[in-house]
Amino acid sequence: MTTRIDGRKLAQQILSKVAEDVAAAGASGRVPGLATILVGDDPASAVYVAAKRRAIREAGMRDFHRALPARATQEEVAAVIDELAADPAVSGILLQLPLPGRLDAPALIDRIPVTKDVDGLTTASAGLLARGVHGLRPCTPLGVIELLDAEGIPIEGARAAVVGWGELVGRPLAQLLLRRGATVTVAHEFTTDLAAVTRPADIVVAATGVRGLIGPEHIKPGAAVIDVGMHRTEAGLTGDVRAAELEGIAGCITPVPGGVGPMTIAMLMRNTLYAAEWERAAA
């Protein structure tokens, strides 16, 4: 029997707890606020930003939003970030990616102050994570850790394989798993024998962007399989894992959709709450 981990349910529990904490903060006149910045009119980005803004309002936080045209210059986007950075009502700043190709995205991301970096993607936040000191961590990796914990999967002493070494998921997740005491192997496009890397693992995380890459040949019976992939197909959303083929092999698996996806927004809301607390503690 392979357990399907319900990311929607866990995300909802986390969001309820965040809403409670926001209400408590609000009672003391300190309502956290999240600013989303959307540059251009990419339809997928618009959908993601709308979902985040809905979550902000449902959590009882203040929703700051800035929409800039696709032709916005580096200086114009920078000015918006600087204005939000200086605004004490704004606890967190989220610059929706990808940006139009002409813009220097890393430079813009690095304008976000580390205390407001709710996506955890600035160089400063990456440094805090690498050194293991207090800071805001990227949302999807945080969500993966929460799912493992909620499912009661031991991390300390476990062998984990992180397949994919991207900046949003694989790289920070490897750090988080190591920090929790897992023995971590990172695989990627240069890995010659992927199954040899993943088969010894108790926890396999697929964040490759390659649809259906991971199948039964990669998974040890009983392992926890976390699918971070998200691919639109005619049959609906599907992931990096051939989930149906793992039935009866994996100990548990996150479905796509309804696994890791909902957790990302939940962790963004929690990061915004943490950012508000951090800025208050630092003030």
Tell me which residues touch a second copy (CB under 8 A): 106, 122-131, 133, 156-157, 159, 165, 167, 171, 174-175, 178, 181-188, 190-192, 196-197, 200
* 143 annotated binding-site participant: no
CB of 261 to a second copy, least distance (A): 25
CA 156/CA 177 separation, integer angstroms: 8
Catalytic residue among 119, 202, 227, 240: 119
Q: What is the 3-state secondary structure (H, E, C) of 118-152?
A: CCCCCHHHHHHHHHCCCCCCCHHHHHHHHHHHHCC
Question: Does the N-terminal peptide bond of residue 43 adopt cis geometry, omega within 30 degrees of 0?
Answer: no
Question: Among this protein's residues, is 52 annotated catalytic?
Answer: yes
CA 100/CA 37 separation, integer angstroms: 13
* 60 annotated binding-site participant: no
Question: Among this protein's residues, is 116 annotated catalytic?
Answer: no
Residue 180 buriedness (CB in 10 A; 0-12 / 13-18 / 19+): middle
Angle 260-282/7-27 helices, nearest 10 degrees? 20
Q: Which is nearer to a second copy, 69 or 181 (CB)?
A: 181
Question: Does the N-terminal peptide bond of residue 257 adopt cis geometry, omega within 30 degrees of 0?
Answer: yes
Starting at the edge strand that comes first in sequence, how are the strands of the sheet with 33-39 ordered?
A: 62-68, 33-39, 92-95
Task: Write out the two tokens for 217.
Answer: 């040949």
**Spacing of C-alpha 216 from chain mean position:** 26
* 165 annotated binding-site participant: yes
Question: Among this protein's residues, is 119 annotated catalytic?
Answer: yes
Residues at the binding site for NADP(+) are 164-166
Catalytic residues: 52, 96, 119
